[in-house]
Amino acid sequence: MPVDAADDMKKRAAAAALAAVAPGMRLGLGTGSTAAHFVALLGERVREGLDILCVPTSERTRAQAEALAIPLATLDEAPELDLTVDGADEFDSSLRLVKGGGGALLREKIVAAASRRFIVVADATKRVETLGAFPLPVEIDAFGARATRGHVERAAAALGLSGEVRLRSRPDGHVFVTDGGHLVLDCAFGAIPAPEALADRLAAIPGVVEHGLFLGLATAVVVAGPGGVESLGRLD
Ligand SMILES: O=C(CO)[C@H](O)[C@H](O)COP(=O)(O)O
């Protein structure tokens, strides 16, 4: 799909999710190009007088929201959120997600877990039968990164998964560092038939800070495709 067409669908999904926002809400703001469309549209509503308080999931989103004069708080100031709207790298029919392509998975998961509702906005290319076509991001501590990578590979192998586990780097060649000061392993395991089992094994590895499997968190996915916008799950 051409980039412009995909971006237009991201924008349409973001616009549809705006219907779930009500005055007085405390909102989590996701990270990535789809979430950025939502933040831009939200900024227009705030300029028109919408009263909300938002918690960003990354420094990138914080900067965008600040530039739009969207009222912001930290998660410590607003520890219980009504709704979070965020993008995803993949989703399946059970609303299970792979996230972290933008490297914000840790804060995204913390904010999603603090939200009563979590709506994912996505274009139709993100829909998969089985998670894993997108390399799974795993955020790790820099200390002992090689040892942790070995544990990740063995945890995957125990479930019959293999594939390249690559330390993420920036376009300039320097190692990618998350907002929390950690590193990211991109794990090209291919299809992950048992995401819950992999999530349990990854979470048990010392040195793994968080992984990009978001299971049981999304309450709805708003997906825009060539035929229009549809919702999976409950928007209310
Ligand atoms: O998880 C994320 C960032 O950590 C993003 O939501 C995910 O990468 C999707 O990004 P985009 O909307 O740009 O396709």
Q: Which residue has the tokens 């990211």?
A: 184
Q: Is residue 31 part of a domain?
A: yes
Question: Measured from the CA of 35, which atom of ligand 1 is nearest?
Answer: 12
Query: Are residues 221 and 204 both part of a single domain?
Result: no
Digit-coded pLDDT (tens) for 70-118:
999 999 999 999 999 999 999 999 999 999 999 999 999 999 999 999 9
| Tens-place pLDDT, residues 57-69 | 999 999 999 999 9
Using an 8 Å Cβ cutoff, are 109 and 97 in contact? no
Is 33 annotated as contributing to ligand binding? yes
What's the full length of the chain, in residues? 236
137, β-bridge pairs: 186
CA atoms within 13 A on the CB side of 61: 32
Residue 232 lies in a domain: no
Return the best residue to mutate from 31, 62, 221 for the ligand 1 pocket (most ligand atoms within 8 A of CB).
31
Entry pTM:
0.96
pLDDT at 236 (0 to 100)? 84
| Ligand 1 mean position, distance from CA 122 (Å) | 9
Residue ranges in the chain whose pLDDT is less than 70: 1
Q: At what angle do helices 195-203 and 145-157 cross, to 10 degrees?
A: 150
- What is the complex's ipTM, to 2 decimals? 0.98
Instruction: Please report the pLDDT score of residue 1 as a whole number.
Output: 67
Residue 115 maps to which CATH number?
Answer: 3.40.50.1360
Residue 6 confidence (pLDDT): 84
- 164 part of the active site: no
The tally of domains found in the chain comes to 2
**Whether residue 119 sits in one domain with residue 223:** yes
Domain that holds residue 111: 3-128+215-227
140 and 113 share one domain: no
CATH assignment at residue 166: 3.30.70.260
pLDDT value at residue 2 = 72
Residue 34 in marked binding region: yes
Same domain, yes or no: 72 and 89: yes
Q: Looking at ligand 1, which atom is closest to the CA of residue 126?
A: 14
Based on the fold, state whether residues 108 and 222 are members of the same structural domain.
Answer: yes
